[in-house]
Amino acid sequence: SAVISQKPSRDICQRGTSLTIQCQVDSQVTMMFWYRQQPGQSLTLIATANQGSEATYESGFVIDKFPISRPNLTFSTLTVSNMSPEDSSIYLCSVEETRPVTDTQYFGPGTRLTVL
């Protein structure tokens, strides 16, 4: 399976600031997703990062708050803008592969964000 890394692994930020999270994959992948995992909650899809075009956002998430870049098939960034304590979460990127079966998703280690 693809090896996925994320930077930073964790951060503590002040409200009103922005943080950019990087996701790097060791092979080219078509589908790359960003999820949010709030404390004690499930994973919620933020958006699909599309290479060469704008990200596709889920209902409740907007580009101004969560701008995403996907400059190539191995890299993406997610920015959490104008942060508030409610943005404290784990942010995970994932990629879709066809092994062992289609639609299989593999996840990065996550970025643990605390907003004060």
Partner 1 sequence: GEDVEQSLFLSVREGDSSVINCTYTDSSSTYLYWYKQEPGAGLQLLTYIFSNMDMKQDQRLTVLLNKKDKHLSLRIADTQTGDSAIYFCAETGGSQGNLIFGKGTKLSVKP
Binding site for partner 1 (CB under 8 A): 1, 4, 31, 33, 35, 40-43, 45, 47-48, 56, 58, 92, 94, 96, 100-110, 112
d(CA 88, CA 112): 8
d(CA 41, CA 38): 5
d(CA 50, CA 9): 23
Cβ at position 110, least distance to partner 1 in Å: 5
Cβ at position 83, least distance to partner 1 in Å: 21
Cβ at position 103, least distance to partner 1 in Å: 5
Q: Which is nearer to partner 1, 46 or 115 (CB)?
A: 46
Instruction: Mark residue 23 as left, alpha or beta (left: phi above 0; alpha: psi -120 to 50; beta: remaining).
Output: beta
